[in-house]
C-alpha cells in the first residue's frame, strides 16, 4: 500500500528538505508552494531520484480558495501518514498600528487557520489507522515577544501550544505530533528578511542550515519529543530569556528584532 506525506511550503528551505527526506523513505508526496517553476523543478528531481509520485499544488494560504485546493486534494485519501505544516509568511517591518488589519489577518490565516483545516482533514484517517505524524513548524518567536513582530510571535506561540495540546490528545492513539521551533535558518527567506546588520553579527544571528534543522526534528520525533528547538543557543535563548528582568529582556529583544 502506498504512503503519502503532505508538506506545505516545500519550494525551498526546511520544507524542501523534509520533502527529500520522506521521498527517500519511499513516501509519495503532495507538496505546496507559490513559485511554480521552482517547486516543479524540485518535484521532478525528487521523483527521478526516488521513483515516487510527487503532486504539486500552487497555493497561497492567505487565500481561502487556495487552502481549499489543498484540502480537496487530501480529503478522503486513506494513505496520508505524514502532514508537515511548514508554509509560512513573514512578519512585517512595521509596528502593529502602521499596517492594515487585513495584513495581520493574513498571518493568522497562514499560520493558524490553514494548519488547523489540514489537520482536521487528515486526522480522522490517522486515528482510524492508529498511525500518523504531524509536524507544525513554529519558531523560537513563539517563546519570545519581539517588537515589530507582535502578530508573528503571537501566531507562532499559538502554533506551539496548539501542537502541545494535540500531542496530549493523541499520544495514546499511535500518532506522533511535534512543534518544530527553529531560530534563524539559512534560507532565501531569512537572507531577504533580516537586515544585513544582524546577519553580520555572528553572536546574534548565527543561522542553522535547513538540513540540520530537519535532522534535529526527525531525531526528536523518534524520541517522541513534542517540542523541538534545534541548536544549543536557541534552546538557551528560549529557556532563559523569557525569565529575564524587564530591562534586560527589553534590551535583548530590541537587538534581536530585525526592525526598529
Cβ 237 vs Cβ 183: under 8 Å: yes
Domains with residue ranges and CATH for the chain:
4-256 (3.40.50.720)
Q: Locate cell 513559485: which residue? A: 35
Cβ 42 vs Cβ 17: under 8 Å: no
Full strand arrangement of the beta sheet holding 175-180: 54-58, 28-33, 4-7, 80-85, 132-137, 175-180, 227-228
Cβ 144 vs Cβ 241: under 8 Å: yes
Instruction: DSSP letter for 208, please.
Output: B
Cβ 154 vs Cβ 144: under 8 Å: no
Q: Which three cell numbers stand for residue 144?
A: 519570545
Q: Is 92 a catalytic residue?
A: no
Q: What is the pLDDT along the chain (260 residues), one digit of tens a residue?
A: 789 999 999 999 999 999 999 999 999 999 999 999 999 999 999 999 999 999 999 999 999 999 999 999 999 899 999 999 999 887 666 777 877 898 889 999 999 999 999 999 999 999 999 999 999 999 998 888 877 788 999 999 999 999 999 999 999 999 999 999 998 877 655 555 554 445 555 444 567 899 999 999 999 999 999 999 998 888 887 776 666 545 555 665 555 555 44
Q: Locate cell 546574534: which residue? A: 204
Please pick, among 18, 27, 92, 152, the residue that the annotation labels catalytic.
152
pTM across the whole model: 0.88
- Distance CA(175)–CA(105), nearest Å, equals 30
Amino acid at each position: 500500500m502506498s504512503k503519502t506525506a503532505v508538506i506545505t511550503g516545500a519550494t525551498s528551505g526546511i520544507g524542501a528538505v523534509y520533502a527529500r527526506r520522506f521521498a527517500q523513505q519511499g513516501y509519495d508526496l503532495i507538496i505546496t508552494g507559490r513559485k511554480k517553476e521552482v517547486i516543479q523543478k524540485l518535484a521532478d528531481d525528487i521523483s527521478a531520484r526516488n521513483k515516487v509520485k510527487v503532486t504539486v499544488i500552487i497555493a497561497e494560504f492567505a487565500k481561502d480558495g487556495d487552502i481549499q485546493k489543498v484540502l480537496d486534494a487530501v480529503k478522503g485519501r486513506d494513505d496520508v501518514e505524514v502532514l508537515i505544516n511548514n508554509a509560512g509568511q513573514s512578519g512585517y517591518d512595521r509596528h502593529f498600528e502602521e499596517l492594515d488589519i487585513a495584513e495581520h489577518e493574513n498571518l493568522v490565516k497562514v499560520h493558524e487557520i490553514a494548519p488547523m483545516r489540514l489537520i482536521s482533514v487528515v486526522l480522522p484517517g490517522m486515528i482510524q489507522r492508529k498511525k500518523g505524524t504531524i509536524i507544525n513548524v513554529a519558531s523560537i518567536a513563539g517563546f519570545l515577544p519581539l517588537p515589530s513582530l507582535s502578530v508573528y510571535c503571537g501566531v507562532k506561540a499559538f502554533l506551539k501550544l496548539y501542537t502541545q495540546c494535540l500531542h496530549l490528545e493523541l499520544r495514546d492513539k499511535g500518532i506522533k505530533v511535534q512543534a518544530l521551533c527553529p531560530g534563524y535558518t539559512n534560507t532565501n527567506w531569512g537572507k531577504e528578511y533580516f537586515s544585513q546588520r544582524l546577519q553580520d553579527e555572528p553572536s546574534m544571528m548565527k543561522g542553522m542550515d535547513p538540513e540540520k534543522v530537519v535532522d534535529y526534528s526527525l531525531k526528536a520525533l523518534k524520541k517522541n519529543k513534542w517540542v523541538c528547538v534545534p541548536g544549543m543557543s536557541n534552546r538557551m535563548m528560549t529557556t532563559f530569556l523569557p525569565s529575564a528582568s524587564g530591562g534586560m529582556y527589553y534590551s535583548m529583544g530590541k537587538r534581536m528584532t530585525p526592525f526598529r
